[in-house]
Amino acid sequence: MTGWLEALERLSGSRAKAGLTRQLRPRPADDFVVDLAGNDYLGLSAHPSVVAAAASALAAYGLGATGSRLVRGSTDAHSLLEADVAAFLGFSSALVFSSGYLANLAAVRGATAVCDLIVSDAYNHASLIDGCKISGRRTVVAPHNDPTAVATILDAHPGQPAVVVTESVFSVDGDLADLATLHEVTSSRGALLLVDDAHAVGILGPGGAGGVAAAGLAGQPDVIVTATLSKSLGGAGGVVAAPEPFIRHLIDTGRTFIYDTALPPAVVAGVHAALQLTRDADDRRTVLTTRADQVVTRLTEAGFPVARPAAAVLSVLAPGPEAAVAWAADCRDRGVAVGCFRPPSTPDGSSRLRLTLNAGVPDEAFAHALDVIVECAP
């Protein structure tokens, strides 16, 4: 094959003209920007107890897991975390993956062992969309956050085993799915409900147990929950929580579990310590609630109407992809990190800044960051 590099350069040029070029920006360990871009919602990633637990496991186990979970990668630390996170989320069993992305791929594909139809929310995360694609099953995309539309789709396929796939708190705009109504729709029609709870765990529900728990659905036999360990828990990895037969199915058949090197024990131990802190982090959740009100008031008064976030994610529309990039860059130059979301990350084709609230940011720095965002607006 000749000319393939030239073809890639042409594609790169097309992306650049559309304002869709992306760049890696390595940050130093002593980076002092105000972080409203990362997902460390509770500010636990550098908590002394978390760091100490990770350091202790690092000394005990070494740097990596040294193999896949079914070979040498499963440690006592993995088993302890899985038991505790299952209880935390209200399910009988849980399985830890090396990333939330891989957990979602496995969960969606695993559900299609018994389901011929997938109904997927239009605003679902890329990992859920890719899970639908690799499953090989028919996928119908439902209008965003519309249980009535989901019911109509399921009714159009009577007797066909189905799984409905959604997020609890959607990762782009931060709005909350109506999980209770959605479960009424699925349960009355014999369908499964698979919920990515990544942006709700640690923030919503009793003790931060997530959006599924907040909706009263924890432990339901027709519900599957996935989540990352990299947001409120401040670490890395992903988890699937579900009835035990489904977890057993993933252990036996889940390709992203079987063939992937396990999450390092040091990370597992650090996440486990963060989980203990999360249960008693009502004070940090109160900070997030206060800041959600603060950011909505400040931006709305400045002429940028935003919806109040259901958890700790909200978006501010930008005029276009180039304007969003420039806005984020200007904020960064003034010491404030914000997310910049452009197509294809935004399913509606518009561009926006995404702000993530962090309970670890001091009050004065947070207020200053809001001023910078307003002042740098295009």
Token pair listed for 97: 């993956």
Q: Tell me which fold the domain 29-44+282-375 belongs to.
A: Aspartate Aminotransferase, domain 1 (3.90.1150)
pLDDT of residue 173: 84
Q: Helices 321-333 and 363-375, interaxial angle, to 10°?
A: 140
Q: What is the pLDDT of residue 192?
A: 98
Contact status, residue 77 vs residue 57, Cβ threshold 8 Å: yes
Q: Which residue has the higher pLDDT, 152 or 342?
A: 152
Q: According to the model, what pLDDT value does residue 321 have?
A: 87
Number of H helices, E strands in the chain: 14, 11
* Residue with tokens 């499953």, as numbered in its chain: 135
Structure confidence at residue 23 as a pLDDT band (50, 70, 90): confident
Domain boundaries along the sequence of the chain: 29-44+282-375, 48-279
Say what the pLDDT of residue 302 is. 94
CA dist 229 and 94 (Å) reads 13
Amino acid symbol at 245: P
pLDDT over 70 percentage in the chain = 100
Angstrom distance (rounded) from CA 236 to CA 248? 23
CA gap 360, 80 in Å, rounded: 27
What average pLDDT does this structure show over 147-163? 97
**What count of Cα atoms within 13 Å lies in the side-chain half-sphere of residue 369?**
25
**48-279: CATH, from 3.40.640.10, 3.40.462.10, 3.90.1300.10, 1.10.10.10:** 3.40.640.10
pLDDT surpassing 80 at residue 1: no
* Interval 340-367 mean pLDDT: 89
Summarised one tens digit per residue, pLDDT across range 274-309 is 999 999 999 999 999 999 999 999 999 999 989 899
Q: Give the separation between CA 231 and CA 38, rounded to whole angstroms.
A: 8
pLDDT digits 0-9 by tens, 53-82? 999 999 999 999 999 999 999 999 999 999
> One fold for both 29-44+282-375 and 48-279?
no
pLDDT score of 346 more than 80: no
What's the average model confidence in pLDDT over 98-113? 98
Cα 270 to chain centroid, rounded: 19
**Confidence check: pLDDT of 347 > 80:** no
Q: Are 92 and 169 a contacting pair, CB within 8 Å? A: no
Residue 232: pLDDT over 80: yes
The band of 211, judged by pLDDT with boundaries at 50, 70 and 90, is: very high
Q: What are the distances in angstroms from CA 307 to CA 176, 214, 271, 316?
A: 11, 20, 31, 9
pLDDT surpassing 80 at residue 376 = yes
